[in-house]
């Protein structure tokens, strides 16, 4: 437990951590605010052109909330990849990795770094969800989805769906961080670590539509990046109460099991490589 406490204390005191932690929440909030401003401008232009001034039913905030979560999650994914990629190479480059291994076993040291990345991912994701919920509630109101006087989705149901979609995203975020950790364990320089972490993930994410069966078995296929296959992407439609949109069969289960299995395998790989290297 001592290495884990030390890692958490170290991460909490790093300026880089404090600077990166609020970025996903900021990105999500800016998306919600920007979309609201764009809607207001479009409405003003419509009225200036002689459109019908009759007020439409106000939009429920759950749709913008889901949009903010998706945007912030993409930013958080990139941050976790970078933090994971730099988590060991800096120590190796500065010569402090060998000293750290004297204080604790190599496997325990890697596990401590992995736990620190996990805590960062969870805290940043909770901050993202809280910030987006507050702004969406303030600007739209987290109310039932109503169309033409009919309730399409109740707020209580939408809260549950937001929780399910958000929860199913966390394993993929952790897998992304631990993939960077595994790469960091195998290479020497920070440039190589960042390049070998980001390049395959972004390339696979861009091309995974060509081989969906393979993508469903790789953690990258569940990351909230460019494509719309992650649960947090589907949530943007589900949160708007669309009657023809629902979770895919076992989608949320697979979103937890596939990235979760990859995360464990990547952590074992990182520990094995670090233990066998001469530092």
As a whole number, the mean pLDDT across the chain is 86
Mean pLDDT (whole number) for 107-118: 87
pLDDT bucket at 18, cuts 50 / 70 / 90: confident
- Residues 6 or more apart from 242 whose CB is under 8 A from it? 152
Mark residue 149 as left, alpha or beta (left: phi above 0; alpha: psi -120 to 50; beta: remaining).
left
How far is 42 from 85, CA to CA, in rounded Å? 43
Tens of pLDDT, residues 180-202: 999 999 998 889 999 999 999 99
How far is 166 from 168, CA to CA, in rounded Å? 5
Mean pLDDT (whole number) for 129-144: 94
| Nearest alpha-carbon partner for 247 in 177, 165, 178 | 165
pLDDT at 39 over 50: yes
- Tell which wins on pLDDT, 244 or 279: 244
| Nearest alpha-carbon partner for 125 in 86, 61, 69, 81 | 69
Q: What is the pLDDT of residue 181?
A: 95
pLDDT bucket at 246, cuts 50 / 70 / 90: confident
pLDDT at 98 over 60: no
pLDDT bucket at 101, cuts 50 / 70 / 90: low
Q: What is the pTM of this model?
A: 0.90
How far is 170 from 165, CA to CA, in rounded Å? 9
DSSP symbols for 140-208 = T-S--EEETTEEEE-HHHHHHHHHHHHHTTHHHHHHHHHHHHHHHHH-SSHHHHHHHHHHHHHHHHHHG
């Amino acid at each position: 437990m001592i290495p884990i406490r030390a890692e958490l204390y170290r991460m909490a005191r790093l300026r880089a951590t404090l600077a990166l932690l609020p970025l996903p929440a900021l990105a999500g909030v800016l998306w919600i605010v920007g979309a609201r401003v764009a809607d207001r401008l479009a409405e003003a232009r419509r009225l200036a052109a002689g459109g019908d001034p009759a007020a439409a039913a106000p939009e429920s905030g759950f749709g913008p909330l889901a949009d903010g979560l998706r945007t912030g999650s993409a930013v958080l994914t990139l941050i976790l990849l970078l933090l994971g990629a730099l988590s060991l190479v800096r120590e190796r480059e500065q010569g402090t990795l060998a000293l750290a291994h004297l204080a604790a076993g190599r496997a325990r040291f890697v596990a401590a770094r992995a736990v620190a990345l996990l805590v960062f991912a969870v805290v940043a994701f909770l901050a993202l969800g809280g910030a987006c919920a507050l702004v969406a509630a303030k600007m739209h109101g987290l109310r039932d989805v109503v169309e033409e006087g009919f309730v399409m989705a109740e707020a209580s149901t939408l809260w549950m769906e937001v929780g399910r979609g958000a929860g199913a995203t966390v394993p993929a975020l952790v897998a992304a961080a631990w993939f960077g950790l595994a790469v960091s364990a195998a290479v020497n320089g920070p440039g190589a670590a960042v390049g070998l972490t980001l390049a395959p993930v972004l390339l696979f994410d861009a091309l995974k539509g060509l081989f969906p069966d393979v993508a469903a078995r790789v953690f990258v296929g569940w990351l909230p990046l460019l494509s719309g296959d992650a649960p947090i992407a589907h949530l943007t439609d589900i949160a708007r109460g669309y009657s023809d949109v629902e979770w895919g069969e076992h989608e949320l289960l697979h979103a937890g099991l596939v990235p979760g299995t990859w995360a464990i395998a990547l952590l074992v790989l990182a520990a094995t490589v670090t233990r066998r290297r001469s530092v």
